[in-house]
A and B are shown apart, each in its own frame.
Chain A
């Protein structure tokens, strides 16, 4: 590890000796300093991946169950904090004001559900993957297959947003076309995941977390200091900036006699803009219902995401599973407390007509650029965003590959597969998924946070009800699980169908109605409760759960 850290230090110091690049354009040019930082970061990831390479399937899927609770917490946070957290969330707040906060609350509040309803019980159940649990708990090969397919689909949907984020940052740093940026970024992350598997990924996630936090927090301290806000705790200091946006700042805006200017030399001045902070503002095009639906869907989806659930299998003890959630949530919150400040500073710094409305998904780096933050620090920020996307993608690809290899191939197709064969299948699954995700990411179907929220709604409608009832009600049986899963899939299919038809310019009966009430970003508000109710009703009406399952639940899971 020391050699790896030394390599980072040498490469970073090399970058720091370069003269800071002057701010000319937000996009479109090759940025030397940031590019060196990015390459150094990527080389580090690959070295760590090689150093902690997976040697057998247990390492590949669950890191050999050797990760401590703080380490696992960092890995949870790193795994969790994707491009959606680092780039997308601030973009949502910049574009949709208070409604963007539904993402902040949704993506953190779900951990409370995860802790009190899932974490310890999942660890006690003692399976490797989500389909493993579902297939075993509901004594059904069919359910294992369907849940494995949905695990892959959820990971797939989640990855699309991440690859988009990776593409945006590569584009910003390299000054190349978006399509090439996505292809280059995807190739690197794919290579790294193939080399390392979960154990390398878990070690990397701890390093990635440190990079994400340092790179994300540093520019905010600088911005708060530079623009005369309370910089010692900028997560509180930006509150005054929010109030300034609401009330407006007249020009010229002076601090100690000197004008406060952005990197273009514009006054830090803004017309009164209460729409930035006021709830569900009519001008933002969002409503109270959407705030609630997004928040609920993200929370429930959090507790149903296979790659998040899978992290509880890698801790040695049940108590570690619980505390790793707390550590994970705390580490996540460090970034989530900070993200809205980028939206606020971004709003102030881009208020001049000459800057115009900025691309929402790149608002974090644009804000740092417009604030005149040193280009190397901005480069570090972009590298941190890429790290965030990498760590999540690695976890997702491993979860998807596990479902493909362990749950479909070994458990269904070839139970006698050797460990070597299993690993080969996992790697083929990773490559297939990576290539397909790259193709979809090139289509630019939505904002990063929105794309990722599709995965949450899918997880909330399919996996979450099965885990919730599977753990907490012995009466939930195979027939109930199948019916509930069918209901969840039905809602998911309706929402996705209307979305795809709408996207292609077509229209189905009730298009506007479904697009609003069952929108693809938040359809779980209906799908998840419906799947739970259907599961309960059908379970009550059909043959009870077998004795051995009930006994296992009572004695092993709820001791």
Chain B
């Protein structure tokens, strides 16, 4: 009579030499796979440090003076550049964009002579009206309206260049002009700016380490490892596994 135990099988306790060899191959592969995928991410996590962008240092230095309203125009310019550098990131949420737009508008209106403030305000209002009408337009009308908005923004950049130093072909100029709003609080002590320091810290601090700062084939190393190398490793593991298994089957004369 056959015994139940005779056919007991588990990956941890194979029934014969072939099974044991097969188990060893499987566990080796799994170990390499797990360490390569998850081990690397744990390493990345272990050695990372919250690293601020240069702009955050400038912002944190300038912010108390801005609050105290004791900044010269030149000092306001470096403060403005930090705001633009965050506003230009397209990961910023709409709520945070509003805070940044208000802050940028506030700084720009301080930098522009009072005599030109009204002209600038009317330019902004005209553009805002056009932007509001975009949702109702389609096809060529939409394209035409976008072109008009672009022209207005470019003219605004040119208008502001003598005071901000950012021209239409600079990186900052178009971001600045597009951020300007007609309605904003003129005091940085206002409640609407309370979130600004936290917001700047959020967008200007990143988890970095030697693994993220080293370059490989143009990539940050960790990015190359995860997006390119791991996939090569997976294909390689699969090929090696198949070759090993087939070699073992041939060696032991097993036909599947």
Contact = CB atoms under 8 A, between A and B. Distances in A.
Asked if A and B bind, the verdict is: yes
Interface of A: 24-25, 28-29, 95, 97-98, 101, 104-105, 108-109, 111-113, 115-117, 120, 124, 230, 235-237, 239-240, 242-243, 246, 248-252, 266-267, 269-284, 288, 291-292, 295-296, 299, 317-319, 322-323, 325-326, 329-330, 333, 336-337, 340, 347, 350-354, 356-357, 472-475, 544, 547, 550-551, 553-555, 558-559
Contacts, number: 229
B203 interface: yes
Contacts of B208: 274, 278
Given A24-B143, A554-B15, 18 more contacts: A108-B230, A108-B231, A239-B217, A239-B228, A242-B223, A273-B91, A277-B220, A282-B202, A282-B207, A288-B41, A292-B41, A323-B242, A329-B234, A329-B235, A333-B231, A337-B227, A551-B7, A559-B18
B226 A559 contact: no
Nearest to A549: B7
A554 B218 contact: no
B180 to A, nearest CB: 11
B45 interface: yes
Given A101-B227, A116-B30, A269 B9 contact: no
B102 to A, nearest CB: 16
Nearest to A265: B150
B119 to A, nearest CB: 22
Contact of B218 (A237, A273, A559): A237
B45 A354 contact: no
A275 B208 CA distance: 10
Contacts of B202: 282-283
B215 to A, nearest CB: 7
Interface of B: 2, 4, 7-11, 14-15, 18-19, 25-26, 29-30, 33, 37-38, 41, 44-45, 48, 53, 55, 84-85, 88-92, 138-140, 142-143, 146, 149-150, 153, 169-171, 174-175, 178-179, 202-203, 205-208, 212, 215-220, 222-224, 226-228, 230-232, 234-235, 237-239, 241-242, 245-246, 254, 256
A288 B209 CA distance: 15
Contact of B235 (A273, A295, A333, A547): A333
B171 A250 contact: yes
B227 A340 contact: yes
Given A239-B224, A275-B89, A474 B10 contact: yes
19 contacts: A25-B139, A101-B227, A104-B231, A116-B241, A117-B26, A236-B217, A239-B223, A246-B220, A248-B171, A278-B220, A319-B256, A322-B242, A336-B231, A337-B231, A350-B90, A351-B88, A473-B11, A544-B4, A547-B7
Contacts of B29: 112, 116
B84 A271 contact: yes
A275 B37 contact: no
Contact of B178 (A252, A319, A354, A474): A354
B230 A472 contact: no
Nearest to B149: A354
B234 A109 contact: yes
A288 B45 contact: yes
A230 B218 contact: yes
Contacts of B33: 109, 112-113
Contact of A279 (B175, B212, B227): B212
Contacts of A329: 234-235, 238
B11 A472 contact: yes
Q: Is the interface of B mostly helix, strand, loop or mixed?
A: helix
A380 to B, nearest CB: 24
A318 B245 CA distance: 12
Output the residue of A97, A318, A353 with the most chain B CB within 10 A.
A353
Nearest to A274: B206
Contacts of A282: 202, 205-207
Contact of A271 (B18, B30, B88, B237): B88
A453 B20 CA distance: 35
Contact of A554 (B9, B239, B245): B9
A105 B226 contact: yes
7 tightest Cβ-Cβ pairs between the two chains A and B = A239-B219, A239-B218, A271-B88, A240-B218, A550-B7, A278-B206, A353-B178
Contacts of A336: 231
Nearest to B201: A282
A278 B204 CA distance: 12
A170 B155 CA distance: 38
Contacts of B218: 230, 236-237, 239-240, 242-243
Contact of B91 (A266, A283, A291): A283
Given A281-B206, A283-B203, A544-B4, A271 B89 contact: yes
Contacts of B41: 279, 288, 291-292, 295
Contact of B15 (A326, A350, A558): A558
A115 B245 CA distance: 11
A102 to B, nearest CB: 9
B136 to A, nearest CB: 13
Contacts of A337: 227-228, 231
A474 B9 CA distance: 5
A325 B44 contact: no
Nearest to A468: B11
Given A112-B237, A281-B206, A558-B19, A475 B142 contact: no
A240 B223 CA distance: 11
Contacts of B219: 239-240, 242-243
Output the residue of B14, B212, B227 with the most chain A CB within 10 A.
B227
Contacts of B171: 248-251, 267, 269-271
A333 B234 contact: yes
A448 B33 CA distance: 27
Nearest to B89: A273
B37 A105 contact: yes
Contacts of A340: 227
A113 B206 CA distance: 33
Contacts of B85: 271-272
A251 B30 CA distance: 48
A114 B242 CA distance: 13
A248 B86 CA distance: 12
Contacts of A280: 45, 207
